[in-house]
Chain A
Amino acid sequence: MENYENIKVNFDSFIQSLESDADDIEFRKKSFNHFLTNGFPKAKDEQWKYSPLTKDLNKFLSVEFSKSAEQNFPEELKENYDHYPIVFIDGNLQLDNVQENGLKIVKNEKFLKSVKKEGTNPVLNFTNAFADEGYLIEVEPNTVISKPIVVYNFYSNNFSSSFVSAKNFILINESSEITIFEKNIYNSDQEYLITSNTEVFLAKNSKLKKYNVNEENKHSTIFNFTKANLDEGSELEHFTFSKNTNSCRDETIVNLNGKNSFASVSGIQSLLDSNNHEIKLNINHNEEFTESSQFIKSALHDSSTAAFQGKIFVDSQAQKTDGYQLSRALLLSDKARFFSKPELEIYADDVKCSHGSSSGSIDDESIFYLRSRGINEKDAKEMMIKGFLAEVIDKLKDDRFKKIFFTKLGHDSENV
């Protein structure tokens, strides 16, 4: 068993420095004690078997909080279209005043609206014990927010802490719509741990498009947890673009609680060197006539490793549900590895569920076809890899972000 004495000391001094109410302190203490019972996850735990975090988290047996002095977010990193920014600089939240009817963006003070229940996930408990920043986005009923919100998580060269933790909250009320784009920028060369817990509530007939970009995280270790609860007729489109990400676990839980709710959770990951990235999805069909889709594609170079654990759960009362899951990986070197664990747990008898998983190398016939048109082998392979990943982007519903992600991939679609 690892020695958690240092973390205990860290936690005690953190709690003392915190200006918070008794309820909040109590919840943090409970979460922390829960975390201590088993400590950081181990590879022998089925839920963490393929996770890079089982070895990397032990680098953080002592966590250091020191708020950096960095105040300025480099203008050139801002997206070049009209949007509402939310900026975290080295973990500190900076907000602009938002002047739009029906939209509220504030600090997630004391996380009052969050569900305060400690779970069995040790890293989530750890996050809930320590998280001291976060945003709250709320859209009032019957409001369509046309400008996207862009969340920048920026880690500057001056960043000197070893741990940042955030707890965010997104509430979309009845018949409202919004698009949120979350972008991580890692300039710091430090070794640090980032954990986040984002809770999403989608009320009746509301729509959320949540897109994430995670690129080149250098020496950081990342745990991103998202839980979305969907009421009747609501829709979630959740997509994550990961490139050269290492030591990272993206975990998403979706609860389809209302009839005719729909969730699409998709992602692409392009990994190099000894990158190690894990995606874990749990889609719970808790009500009848619910629909879900999971679509993950991985392009694995060098000795990179990717893991995908995707589960479709169908409750006994969730008849007429439709659950789909597909994961494909391109192994671009003999040393690249892909672990896939699709799971179906179905208690209803009138459902449509399908899953597929494959891994393989680039199709020789396709390479021959491209080369026979004068395209050299290297470019042909590049086109194939980009094309392979682009298929996930092509299914996104938002044209603006489709274009943004195609460009990120270096892939032209209708633009030649």
Chain B
Amino acid sequence: MIEITNLKASVDEKEILKGLNLSIGKGEVHAIMGPNGSGKSTLSYALSGKEGYNISGEIKFNKKNLLELNTEERAQEGVFLALQYPTEIPGVFTKNFLRTSLNSIRKANGKSELNAIEFLKILKEKSTELKINDEMLARPLNVGFSGGEKKRNEILQMSLLEPSFIIMDETDSGLDIDALKIVSNGVNTLRDPDRSFLIITHYQRLLNYIKPDFVHVLSDGKIVKTGDWKLALDLEKEGYEQFVN
């Protein structure tokens, strides 16, 4: 489903990804672990099309080359990046943002836009599952949200937009155990034979709750080892030292 070939990314002449290859099949959950500075966040930005990077190589997604699409077109194709630090946007109200986002994606895919009543019905259903109350939805986007609330809001977006490829960038950072459980449950209910995940994380902890099919070690801009979920346990025990030059 996703075929990444010889992906290189640099910022201001500094090469961060140095020829990364990765293949993710339909319905698979892959985890990428790696030390600080190995290029984890850059990979997530390269996949979602953030500007400011020099990128070469190929990312095939549903037979299209993602590198030829801009950020919103990738989202409309079904790529979703859950951010490590979701941006606070004062004045943009959460509910309005969610509806605009959902309708933009529906429109791009030739579906009819939802009216307020239809939208609120779906929102109610999805937000209740994630213990997100109306008061939170009435606030400006992520403004005054706790770390846990911000991440739950990201999961809510996933659940509304129903993307086919989800990248999670250090979603576990800054979460206490309770929040981690809510977030993991949210993700687990979204697991689906037609939906793939790439979970980027520094710690093995999240993988206790979301069990990956494959674990990759990213070091110095390349994948240096691939294994099953047990690899995460080894890493937790022995550290990344062995993979760092």
Q: Is the CB of B92 within 8 A of A372?
A: no
Q: Is the CB of A369 within 8 A of B83?
A: yes
**Does residue A63 face the partner (Cβ distance < 8 Å to B)?**
no
A370-B97 CB under 8 A given contacts A387-B92, A416-B116? yes
Residue of A nearest to B99 (CB): A416
Listed A/B pairs (19) with beta-carbon separation below 8 Å? A368-B50, A370-B92, A371-B71, A373-B97, A373-B104, A374-B108, A375-B101, A379-B104, A384-B92, A386-B91, A387-B91, A387-B93, A388-B90, A388-B91, A394-B140, A411-B91, A412-B93, A413-B96, A416-B99
Q: Is the CB of B91 within 8 A of A389?
A: yes
Which listed residue, B72, B92, B120, B138, touches A371 by the CB 8 Å rule?
Answer: B72
Contact with A along B8-49 (1 / 0, CB 8 A): 000000000000000000000000000000000000000011
**Does residue A72 face the partner (Cβ distance < 8 Å to B)?**
no
Which residues of A sit under 8 angstroms from B120, Cβ to Cβ? 416
Q: Is the CB of B48 within 8 A of A383?
A: no
Q: Is the CB of B108 within 8 A of A372?
A: no
Which residues of A sit under 8 angstroms from B208, Cβ to Cβ? none
- Chain B residues numbered 49-81 whose CB sits less than 8 Å from any CB in chain A: 49-51, 70-72, 74-76, 80-81
Which residues of B sit under 8 angstroms from A394, Cβ to Cβ? 91, 140
Q: Is the CB of B72 within 8 A of A375?
A: yes
**Does residue A79 face the partner (Cβ distance < 8 Å to B)?**
no
Which residues of B sit under 8 angstroms from A371, Cβ to Cβ? 70-72, 75
Give chain A nearest CB distance to B72 CB in angstroms: 5
**Does residue B147 face the partner (Cβ distance < 8 Å to A)?**
no
**Does residue B200 face the partner (Cβ distance < 8 Å to A)?**
no
Which residues of A sit under 8 angstroms from B93, Cβ to Cβ? 387, 412-414
Q: Is the CB of B100 within 8 A of A379?
A: yes
Which residues of B sit under 8 angstroms from A387, Cβ to Cβ? 89-93, 140
**Does residue A376 face the partner (Cβ distance < 8 Å to B)?**
yes
Which residues of A sit under 8 angstroms from B72, Cβ to Cβ? 371-372, 374-377, 380
Contact with A along B98-122 (1 / 0, CB 8 A): 1111001100100000001001100
Residue among A364, A368, A372 with most chain B CB within 10 A: A372
**Does residue A120 face the partner (Cβ distance < 8 Å to B)?**
no
- How many A-B contacts at CB < 8 Å in the complex? 97
A94 to B95 Cα, complex, angstroms: 44
Residue of A nearest to B102 (CB): A374
Q: Is the CB of A374 within 8 A of B104?
A: yes
Which residues of A sit under 8 angstroms from B138, Cβ to Cβ? 413-414
Give chain A nearest CB distance to B227 CB in angstroms: 30
Give chain B nearest CB distance to A366 CB in angstroms: 5
Which residues of B sit under 8 angstroms from A374, Cβ to Cβ? 72, 75-76, 101, 104-105, 108, 161
**Does residue A365 face the partner (Cβ distance < 8 Å to B)?**
yes
Q: Is the CB of A372 within 8 A of B81?
A: yes
Which residues of A sit under 8 angstroms from B51, Cβ to Cβ? 364, 368
Residue of B nearest to A394 (CB): B91
Which residues of B sit under 8 angstroms from A379, Cβ to Cβ? 100, 104
Residue of A nearest to B96 (CB): A412
**Does residue A391 face the partner (Cβ distance < 8 Å to B)?**
yes
**Does residue A170 face the partner (Cβ distance < 8 Å to B)?**
no
Residue of A nearest to B137 (CB): A414
A370 to B71 Cα, complex, angstroms: 9
Give chain A nearest CB distance to B9 CB in angstroms: 16
Which listed residue, A377, A390, A416, touches B91 by the CB 8 Å rule?
Answer: A390
A376 to B119 Cα, complex, angstroms: 20
Which residues of A sit under 8 angstroms from B245, Cβ to Cβ? none
Which residues of A sit under 8 angstroms from B76, Cβ to Cβ? 374
- Chain A residues numbered 352-404 whose CB sits less than 8 Å from any CB in chain B: 363-366, 368-377, 379-380, 383-384, 386-391, 394
**Does residue A16 face the partner (Cβ distance < 8 Å to B)?**
no
Known: A384-B92, A390-B91, A411-B96. 8 other contacts (CB 8 A): A364-B51, A368-B51, A372-B74, A372-B83, A379-B100, A384-B89, A387-B90, A413-B138
A383 to B95 Cα, complex, angstroms: 13
Which residues of A sit under 8 angstroms from B89, Cβ to Cβ? 366, 369-370, 384, 387
Q: Is the CB of A414 within 8 A of B95?
A: yes
**Does residue A3 face the partner (Cβ distance < 8 Å to B)?**
no
**Does residue A101 face the partner (Cβ distance < 8 Å to B)?**
no
Give chain B nearest CB distance to A326 CB in angstroms: 12
Q: Is the CB of B104 within 8 A of A369?
A: no
Contact with B along A88-127 (1 / 0, CB 8 A): 0000000000000000000000000000000000000000
**Does residue B157 face the partner (Cβ distance < 8 Å to A)?**
yes
Which listed residue, B75, B98, B100, B116, touches A372 by the CB 8 Å rule?
Answer: B75
A259 to B31 Cα, complex, angstroms: 63
